[in-house]
Amino acid sequence: MTAATHPLTAMITPAAPPPDCAAYEQAGGWQAARKALKILAPAEVIDMVTRSKLRGRGGAGFATGQKWSFVPKDAASERRKYLVANADEMEPGTFKDRWLLEGNPLQLVEGMILAAYAIQASHGIVFLRGEYHLPRKRLTRAIEEARQKGWLGENILGSGFSFDIHLHSSAGRYICGEETALITALEGKRATPRSKPPFPQFSGLWGASTVVNNVETLCNLPHIITNGPEWFLSLGMGADGGTKLYGVSGRVRRPGAWELPIGTPLRQIIEDHAGGMLPGYSLRALLPGGASTAFLDESALDVVMDYGSVEKAGSRLGTGTAIILDDRTCPIGMILNLEHFFAQESCGWCTPCRDGLPWVERLLGALEEGTGESEDLEELARHARMLGTPGRTFCAHAPGAMAPLASGLKLFSDDFSAHISQRGCPLRHAA
């Protein structure tokens, strides 16, 4: 495929410094911002993004244009609006936003200018994962240069539109992937989700209208505005438009991330791009979209990686970054590792999540240590059912945490039973 069909990553060269403003403009950057600010009305930008069928790339997959359309347009709402780029990227197994931030941070800057113009926000914030030191350094430089060149600040291009970006390094909590928890953290408070409604588009950061978009989502915007929604739609292989950054981690020959047409078959991603499994290992199952998605076994390898197809297969596309389980890794040990993460990342706001996830972790730990009983499997299934049902906890953290457990109890039932009958992990005993 040509660079033209890989708009997000066409300018990214591994281990090379990102382009400066001049190089970015020479490669086609700033065309979209210039077009929007000089020719298009905010409503026209929203319309183009809506027609492109761009869906949020952070995991939920909500239609971007529709999300923007909820922002109030009355006179009272004009006083203050915020656009927040979620660059926290705390989903285990996910590293796509880091690649974009390190490789071409000006693309994010331009995408934020377009999104802010569409919703008429004058304040932009990048909520960056605290451990992302190199992305912070490069993004800081990009924002400063864009400001010096007149792409940020007062009256951009003489359009009357003013917008600037502030970079915020977060203290780091997985729950900040939930947009209202992120907003609460930005306000200097404990990162706990808020009840909805009101939605952030009506009452978000400090009570003002706020839109939160993922880094990959925002990086698509310059290409949609420059080339048009029909062009963006044509890049996809199904109902969804555009390309997608897909990643693979685990015991494959070439773990990494690749920009491909959305709807690329899972088998093609793993075998052609990740190079297949390492010698001596076989694929047993995988989490298709990060740690908070349900396991799929090898029978699902021919599923196409778009939102609807992965859901029909019994999981979620999520972030599009697959975590591979091989035949020499204990699935119960893998699930225990995941549930340990989710338990410590619970915000503690609601009792089922705060107390239920650590209890799940203890039960799984007992199975691994050889002290588990058959009744523990019934208890795990009950927790997976109770915590995994949306609406029984305050936010989606616990349902996401239960996705690998609930699917694992079905796919790996023999392994769970063996941990009880053999008093511990059979693979550890064999070693």
Q: For 206-261, what is each residue's pLDDT tens digit?
A: 999 999 999 999 999 999 999 999 999 999 998 888 999 999 999 999 999 999 99
**DSSP result, 7-74:** TTTTT--TTSPPP-HHHHHHTTTTHHHHHHHHT--HHHHHHHHHHHT-B-TTTT--BHHHHHHTS--S
Half-sphere exposure (Cβ direction) of 388: Cα atoms closer than 13 Å: 18
Q: How confident is the model at residue 430 (pLDDT cuts 50, 70, 90)?
A: low
The amino acid present at 165, given as its one-letter code, is I
Q: What pLDDT is recorded for position 1?
A: 37
For the chain, which domains are there? 3-235 (3.40.50.11540), 243-326 (3.10.20.600), 331-430 (1.20.1440.230)
Confidence of residue 4 (pLDDT cuts 50, 70, 90): very low
Q: Is 118 left (phi over 0), alpha (psi -120 to 50) or beta?
A: alpha
Could you report the per-residue pLDDT of 174-197, keeping only the tens digit for each? 999 899 999 999 999 999 999 889
**Mean pLDDT value of segment 84-88:** 96
| Structure-model confidence comparison of residues 306 and 11, the more confident one | 306
- Which pLDDT band, with edges at 50, 70 and 90, does 160 fall under? very high
The encoded tokens of residue 164 equal 């600037």
Question: What is the structure's pLDDT at 47?
Answer: 97
What gap in Å lies between CA 65 and CA 47, rounded to an integer?
Answer: 7
- Within 10 A of 2 (CB to CB), how many other CB atoms are there? 6
**CB-side neighbour CA atoms (13 Å) of 148:** 9
Q: What is the rounded average pLDDT of the residues 4-11?
A: 78
87: CB partners within 8 A, 6+ apart: 97, 101, 108, 126, 127, 128, 129, 132, 135, 215
Question: What is the average pLDDT value for the chain, to the nearest integer?
Answer: 93
What digits encode the pLDDT tens for the residues 62-82?
A: 999 999 999 998 765 567 899
- Please report, as a single letter, which amino acid is at residue 267: R
Task: Return the pLDDT at 60.
Answer: 81
